[in-house]
Amino acid sequence: MNKKNNPPEDHREKVLDAALKHVPSIGWNMGSFCAGASDIGLEPVEAYRVFPGGLPDATRFYSDSLDQKMLLSLSMLDLESLRIRDRVIAGVRARIEAGEGNRDVIKRLAAYFLLPGKNRLALELIWRTCDTIWFVAGDRATDFNFYTKRGLLLPVYSSTLLVWLGDESDGYIESWDYLERQISRVLELPKISSKLKKTFCSIVPNGYRSICRVQ
């Protein structure tokens, strides 16, 4: 019996893996996923059954798979012995390294995110990744700091990824040096903000001190 006519129930991982081989030449589009489906013995159109939401669905699945690789890599580290700063650096680095060997695919994906109307999906996935990194780093904030930390990490992760995509240095040392500088800069911002607030509250008239109690 022709297995093209009898696709198993869930081929997402297999179709994705096969599709990645086509992305550098075809692009980050459903054409690559249809080609991937064909490679594993399915009708090309089955790519749309495997990813019923189309390319955004496939993109989310790929991003989630890289997040899982990141978590596996981090599980092999003694994160408890590291400072928060170094845990975050390890998380960003592990997530980027999860795509090593597929830099051409990541470049195509980055180009896809630049298309009109795709910035919302990009923001959704990068935010999810940054949230995961902070959670693994030990952050359990539920107040406004939750959003502040992730909002600050988002541009650091994004810009480091772009640096990495063009990095030809040994071991991507330029990318990791850049990452450390950016993390150091970003983690200083809350401290600076706290100092400014204390200074402000020390000089504000007594009648307005109540605003200093607002978190």
Pick from 123, 153, 132, 141: which is nearest to 74 by CA? Answer: 132
What percent of the chain is predicted at pLDDT more than 90?
A: 77
DSSP codes joined into one string, 5-41:
GS--S--HHHHHHHHHTTHHHH-SSHHHHHHHHHHTT
- Measured distance CA(205)–CA(215) in Å, rounded: 19
Asked whether the CA dihedral 138, 188, 95, 80 is positive or negative, the reply is negative
**Residue 206: what pLDDT?**
56
The CATH 1.10.357 portion of the chain extends over 55-213
Q: Which two tokens stand for residue 172?
A: 């991507």
Q: Which helix (H) or strand (E) holds 150?
A: helix 144-165
Q: Which helix (H) or strand (E) holds 199?
A: helix 173-203
pLDDT in tens, 175-190: 999 999 999 998 875 5
Query: Could you tell me where the DSSP H helices lie in 75-113?
Result: 84-97, 103-113
Answer with the residue of higher pLDDT: 132 or 8: 132
Which band of pLDDT confidence, cut at 50, 70 and 90, is reported for residue 191? low
Domain 55-213 falls in which CATH fold? Tetracycline Repressor; domain 2 (1.10.357)
- Measured distance CA(172)–CA(71) in Å, rounded: 21
**Residue 187: what pLDDT?**
81
Q: What is the pTM of this model?
A: 0.84
- Measured distance CA(23)–CA(30) in Å, rounded: 10
Q: At residue 138, does pLDDT exceed 90?
A: yes
Question: Counting beta carbons within 10 angstroms of the beta carbon of residue 51, is it exposed (0 to 12), middle (13 to 18) or buried (19 or more)?
Answer: buried
Query: What residue has token string 């990824």?
Result: 161
Using an 8 Å Cβ cutoff, are 154 and 127 in contact? Answer: yes
Q: At residue 82, does pLDDT exceed 70?
A: yes
Q: How many CA atoms lie within 13 A of 111 on its CB side?
A: 13
Question: CA dist 92 to 36, 118, 213, Å?
Answer: 29, 22, 34
pLDDT in tens, 139-177: 998 888 898 899 999 999 999 999 999 999 999 999 999
**Residue 32: what pLDDT?**
99
Q: What does the CA dihedral 137, 138, 142, 144 come to, rounded to 10 degrees? A: -50
